[in-house]
Structure 1
């Protein structure tokens, strides 16, 4: 194999690979070259007898995915003489050293490493791990081969993560990293689960005799610091700019304090020129149901059952109708059945499937009763509501979502603006479900159905 020079890019990546800190976090915006730097770091001591490294992702799927650590290492480690073992996700090098990739999907998986001695422990996306997993593995960070043991980790911003508190000194009040503090070394000890910081090792040892402080640093990076990626994939920045506001602030801006809040996911002004009096003919339609069959006479302020009808034509999405009501299970089923026949059989019908066996039973019952003969499927909810709302939030901000002018508009927009802090978010859930059904699952273009009542609203 021809000699190949592999080196870090100038800036944060170079700083990360040259810091002497015992524990170093490399983080901030997406695309800063963090994972590649972690892979490079693991190669530093491969010619030193007795050296071993383990790099963790939270799940095994994340380790093996396309573009993942293992996938990327296959284009890097052979240049250092590495021989892969895909069954064990481990690279062996000529000196008898190794770099292993592993997961810690469950809290108890940390105990799998009891008794281990690992020179370099790496965490890719540290916010995905628990605080106890991290500090337990810190106790496994030992060495008898002459190399000082150390920890390296990468991370993207997450205001609710324990990592945000860990690096708080490096972050400004506005949520963005303080550039002049990036790479600065601090010292810490941990007593009874509490972090105690100092400006020097000696300071902490004097205040807490018998302790062994460790050095720590956080190195911030942004997409612009990874010029190789910017040149190879100029569209990547546009992809980040198209994200909803909160995710864009985190992954493009590197903001560590931004959190989902009312008015950040949906704004009324985005729709000022997006109202239409009549529904244009669309290529595909879906009615998405978010069900909460509770009679409001029996409960003070229960959730609503919401069925939102959306159409799509050439990348533009139209909110055509919103059915929103509180009824007993039997009355709710009858209402949904009437709506289905009014929409017409060409309209896809999707319903959120609640977790567990009870959710499966509801979907199975609806498939054989009220929606029999229709294009009906249950959709399992995955991830938090704000995550599911992300794609349609971005589409709204980019001006690709239109609303048919009807009496339900004001309450609909009020709920969107109040998300995720407002008590009721059933219309947001239905909107997210309908958009994702059309955006992610292209279907055969149906014939136009006059049952939509395009000039006069729904007929029930």
Structure 2
């Protein structure tokens, strides 16, 4: 077409600056597919970890928080390399950014996983919503019902996961890549960033799953504003 890549097709409606804001908001994968008509496969570097900020403490006004769990139930023994049970605690700051405040993870049997959930809930307090995955089928329903009962006194939500892992992680990756995600300085930071950098080709992705789920839970509670009539009239 003789058009420079990135040049606005309809500058009267969306100029270059506005398109740049949209690109930052949706992320590179969605931008390539929706705005360049050039869908690309998810093949590493979904998360630009250099965009993550690390700070010493939560701001005084830290906003709502959730603890999202990704559950496994196999102890490590010998040379086996089982999945981790991971609980990611995330805050949604008043300025719109997100903070990963804590990551708890273990490899244990069902009794040890249950004990970790209860201990972490007590440490977080009743102000932190607990989000649990619910696997399809009767066994998943029974597990969700049992754990919800054991966590009586806390706000608990069970969610069914749909779509592949990379698709579920993409909205969280867009916020990471836009510089809207912070981490609290802690011993878990290095392992978390390594897993993000290797996703979706990493051996384990339990921390990514839990973090993406925590972000989704907070984003659902505080949805993006709707487009106004004046904006829609320009399309």
TM-score by length of 2: 0.84
Match for residue 360 of structure 1?
141
Q: For the structure 1 residues 299 and 305, does the alpha-carbon distance in structure 2 shift closer, same or farther, using more than 3 Å as the test?
A: farther
Asked which structure has the greater RCO (Cα within 8 Å, sep 6+), the reply is 2
Residue of structure 2 equivalent to 1:259:
41
User: What SS class does the counterpart of residue 310 from structure 1 fall into?
Assistant: strand
Alignment of 1:39-438 (within 5 A): 224-225=8-9, 227=10, 231-232=12-13, 238-256=21-39, 258-263=40-45, 265-271=46-52, 274-281=53-60, 282-297=62-77, 300-314=80-94, 315-369=96-150, 371-438=151-218
Q: Distance in 1 between matches of 2:7 and 2:34?
A: 9
Shift, 1:351, TM fit = 1.0
Q: Give the distance between the partners of 1:442 and 1:372, measured in 2 at CA.
A: 25
Q: CA offset at residue 243 of structure 1?
A: 1.6
CA drift of 1:298 comes to: 7.6
Distance 1:255 1:373 in 2: 49
Check 1:268–1:298 CA distance in 2 against 1; reply closer, same or farther (3 A cut): same
Tell me, yes or no, if the aligned pair for 1:277 and 1:405 is still in contact at 8 Å: yes
CA 1:373–1:415 in 2, change beyond 3 Å: closer, same or farther? same
Counterpart in the other structure of 1:29 = none
The 3 A distance-change label for structure 1 pair 352 and 223 is farther
Q: Of Structure 1 and Structure 2, which has the larger fraction of its residues in strand?
A: 1
- Alignment check: 8 A CA contact 1:223 1:252 kept: no
Structure 1: state its 5+ residue gaps.
1-178, 181-221, 444-460
Alpha carbons of structure 1 residues 357 and 244: separation in structure 2 relative to 1, 3 Å: farther
User: Which whole-Å CA distance do the structure 2 matches of 1:284 and 1:299 have between them?
Assistant: 40
Q: Which runs of 4+ in 1 moved over 6 A?
A: none
- Determine which structure has more spread, i.e. the larger CA radius of gyration: 1
Gaps of 5+ in 2: 224-235
Aligned residues: 216
**Taking structure 1 as the reference length, what is the TM-score of the superposition?**
0.44
- Deviation at 1:299? 7.7
Partners of 1:242 and 1:248 within 8 A in 2: no
Residues 275 and 405 of structure 1 are in contact (CA less than 8 Å); yes or no, is this contact kept in structure 2?
Answer: yes
* Corresponding residue of 1:191: none
Query: How many angstroms apart in 1 are the aligned matches of 2:65 and 2:108?
Result: 25
List aligned pairs for 1:11-30, cutoff 5 A. none
